[in-house]
């Protein structure tokens, strides 16, 4: 839980803290990263949308009953301005049910700068067909 | 096509112009609404993510070969600050294959304020199970 108490001065720190809280099934650390806004939205893969803190918290509490969720966000594409950051990542779930199979998970995470710093306002995850694509930013093939 | 040349001073106007361009299969109007940024992302329901203007344009051109796409965005939830707006809507596709069935489409549309005004930087659509939920803002039942 210690990591969640680091100062979260950047979007990257908030995103790292988010996936860290998932891995530790730390519901308090997780919920502290969301904006204090009734309009926050969370969509789990293949599930209906959840709006507001109570519904989102309840969904993660149910997931955490089975333990932490180990996700490595990879292949980030980001657009941002001074007050917002829009991240899209592929969620590498390692040895989970989607690993190496015929699907992968895409997630949009949107962060807004609030009076309390950068906070998550939207998490939209969904299932895409096919294996995770190769990273386009991989080192170039030399020959 | 006339609507796409209206001044687009608000996020709501850009979102309306987006769904209007889809309904008219107007690729030029559609692409003009996106931010001039290599990191723009578009995810069609059940499809891999597309990054950048060329890939996104090609996907819509392929869809438009079958004509316009008639979508009514409903049940908006929005979070925003001075420079960004995060919209999540249910995409009512009317008489399409998803209508009245056991699924509905959720879409996250993120708009950033750019030097050229409000522009779309992310469209993430996905399929959710079950019929479209009842609007929570519907008039209360009287008895």
Inform me whether the pLDDT recorded for A140 exceeds 90.
no
Q: Can you tell me the ipTM of this complex?
A: 0.88
CB A105 within 8 A of CB A98: yes
Neighbours of A142 (CB within 10 A): 4
Q: Work out the minimum CA distance from A21 to partner chain B, whole angstroms.
A: 23
Q: Work out the minimum CA distance from B115 to partner chain A, whole angstroms.
A: 11
Which pair of structure tokens corresponds to residue A72?
Answer: 């490595």
| Rg value, chain A, Cα | 15
Give the per-residue pLDDT at B141: 52
Taking 70 as the pLDDT cut, the residues of chain B under it are 1-7, 95-100, 136-143
Number of compact structural domains in chain A: 1
A88 and B122: CB-CB below 8 Å?
Answer: yes
A128 and B79: CB-CB below 8 Å?
Answer: no
Give the per-residue pLDDT at B138: 44
- Model confidence at A47, in pLDDT bands (50, 70, 90)? very high
B40 and A79: CB-CB below 8 Å?
Answer: yes
Query: B118-142: buried (b, 16+ CB within 10 Å) or exposed (e) per residue?
Result: bbbbbbbbbebeeebeeeeeeeeee
At which residue do the structure tokens 């180990």 appear? A70
Domain interval for residue A34: 11-125
Give the per-residue pLDDT at A4: 47
Give the per-residue pLDDT at A136: 65
In a domain, A104, yes or no: yes
In a domain, B69, yes or no: yes
Gap between the Cα atoms of B74 and A130, Å rounded: 30
A126 and B127: CB-CB below 8 Å?
Answer: yes
Give the per-residue pLDDT at B4: 47
Q: Work out the minimum CA distance from B67 to partner chain A, whole angstroms.
A: 25
Q: Please list every residue in chain A whose beta carbon sits closer than 8 Å to the beta carbon of residue B121.
A: 79, 86
In a domain, B142, yes or no: no
In a domain, A5, yes or no: no
Q: Which of B131, B136, B110 is nearest to B34 (CA)?
A: B110
- How far CA B17 is from CA of A29, A42, A137, B5, in Å, comes to 39, 26, 34, 9
CB A48 within 8 A of CB A54: no
CB B54 within 8 A of CB B72: no
In a domain, A131, yes or no: no
| CA closest to B34 among chain A residues | A79
Gap between the Cα atoms of A84 and B138, Å rounded: 31
Inform me whether the pLDDT recorded for A105 exceeds 80.
yes
Q: HEC string of A52-69?
A: CHHHHHHHHHHHHCCCCC
Residue range A110-119: mean pLDDT, rounded:
93
Give the per-residue pLDDT at B15: 97
Burial of B83 (0-12, 13-18, 19+ CB in 10 A): middle
Q: What CATH number should be reported for the domain holding residue B71?
A: 3.10.450.50
Gap between the Cα atoms of B9 and A86, Å rounded: 21
In a domain, A134, yes or no: no
In a domain, B95, yes or no: yes
* pLDDT digits 0-9 by tens, A67-94: 999 999 999 999 999 999 999 999 998 7
B128 and A37: CB-CB below 8 Å?
Answer: no
- Model confidence at A61, in pLDDT bands (50, 70, 90)? very high
In a domain, A141, yes or no: no
* pLDDT digits 0-9 by tens, A17-44: 999 999 999 999 999 999 999 999 999 9
- Model confidence at A1, in pLDDT bands (50, 70, 90)? very low
């Amino acid at each position: 839980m210690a990591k969640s108490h680091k100062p979260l001065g950047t979007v990257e720190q908030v995103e790292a803290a988010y996936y860290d809280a998932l891995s530790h099934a730390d519901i308090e650390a997780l919920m502290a990263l969301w904006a204090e806004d009734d309009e926050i939205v969370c969509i789990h893969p293949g599930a209906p949308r959840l709006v507001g803190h109570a519904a989102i918290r309840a969904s993660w509490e149910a997931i955490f009953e089975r333990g932490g969720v180990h996700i490595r966000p990879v292949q980030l594409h980001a657009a941002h301005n001074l007050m917002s950051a829009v991240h899209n990542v592929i969620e590498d779930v390692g040895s989970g049910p989607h690993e190496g199979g015929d699907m992968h998970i895409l997630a949009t995470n949107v962060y807004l700068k609030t009076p309390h710093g950068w906070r998550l306002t939207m998490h939209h995850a969904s299932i895409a067909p096919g294996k995770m694509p190769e990273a386009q930013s991989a080192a170039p093939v030399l020959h």
